[in-house]
Amino acid sequence: MRRFFISDNSIDEENAIITGKDFHHIKHVLRLKKGHTIQLITQKGQKYQAHIEKITNRQICTKITQSDQTMIQPKIHITIAQSMLKEKKMDHLVRQTTELGVSRWIAYISERSTSRPDSARMKQKVQRWQKIAKSAAQQCNGHIPEIHDQFVDINDIVSLSSEKQQGYFFWEKSDHLISSPQKPYPESIILVFGPEGGFSENEVDRARNAGFMISSLGPRILRAETATVSGLALMQYFFDST
């Protein structure tokens, strides 16, 4: 069954209206007709089955036939803060971290970032990442993470650790191997990953002073994108399996 995300204000108890790119995809690409059944998913994770009742030149009107259980959500809100990598690597990471259930994605500039887009270019990247995240969420039956759309640097990132949001700063030179956290768990966590060249000593010191746990993923020197996926998968296992 085809899945489509829909805003909460486009759906009520009995009906839902589809517009925009999904309307175009349903009508002109998939060529679905009146009577076809589709699945609608809100950004809060609620799923509905609906059948198409009417197709006009601008919208598709559907009738809700069934409300399914809310999708499985992570037990904890996880933010990924990723230092800018080369373009395709960032695209792949948005897709992979969406599939793994990240709640929020922040791209930032660090001292050794090789990619340093200006604000206009960054806006274009965020728009592309939003499309990638939506596509990945549809494919894996997950939720769409929030893609932070403001241009930030390492100073903004190290300010995000707090009592309610535990911060983990992944550095290959740390002698503290990441391990299962102690209960009670925080309401949310932020995982900070560096660029291809790694973090500077200065950045690590600032993160430590801000309350971040400086952690290692093991003795191997991982590629930047490998470290991000591995770290997120480990933290999902630690928090979701207990």
Which residues, at least 6 apart from 56, have a Cβ–Cβ distance to it below 8 Å?
none
What's the whole-number average pLDDT of the chain? Answer: 87
Distance CA 98, CA 80 (A): 10
State the DSSP string of 197-236: T---HHHHHHHHHTT-EEEB--SS---HHHHHHHHHHHHH
In this prediction the pTM is 0.76
The answer to whether residues 196 and 221 touch, using CB atoms and an 8 Å cutoff, is no
Residue 219: what pLDDT? 87
Is residue 70 over pLDDT 70? no
Mean pLDDT confidence for 178-191: 81
Q: Which CATH architecture has domain 77-240?
A: 3-Layer(aba) Sandwich (3.40)
Residue 176: what pLDDT? 87
Task: Please give the CATH number for the structural domain made up of 3-67.
Answer: 2.40.240.20
The pairing of strands 60-67 and 152-153 is: unpaired
Taking only the tens place, the pLDDT of each residue in 186-241 is: 788 999 999 998 999 999 999 999 999 999 998 888 999 999 999 999 988 887 75
Confidence of residue 91 (pLDDT cuts 50, 70, 90): very high
Confidence of residue 69 (pLDDT cuts 50, 70, 90): low
Q: How many CB atoms lie within 10 A of CB 57?
A: 6
Confidence of residue 181 (pLDDT cuts 50, 70, 90): confident
Confidence of residue 114 (pLDDT cuts 50, 70, 90): confident
Q: Which of 58-62, 171-175, 180-184 has the lowest mean pLDDT?
A: 180-184
Q: In the chain, where are the structural domains located?
A: 3-67, 77-240
Taking only the tens place, the pLDDT of each residue in 43-62 is: 666 788 888 999 999 899 99
Q: Which of 22-26, 146-150, 237-241 has the lowest mean pLDDT?
A: 237-241
Is residue 175 over pLDDT 80? yes
Which residues, at least 6 apart from 174, have a Cβ–Cβ distance to it below 8 Å?
214, 215, 216
Residue 183: what pLDDT? 73
- Determine which helix (DSSP H) or strand (DSSP E) holds 22, and give its type and residue range: helix 20-24
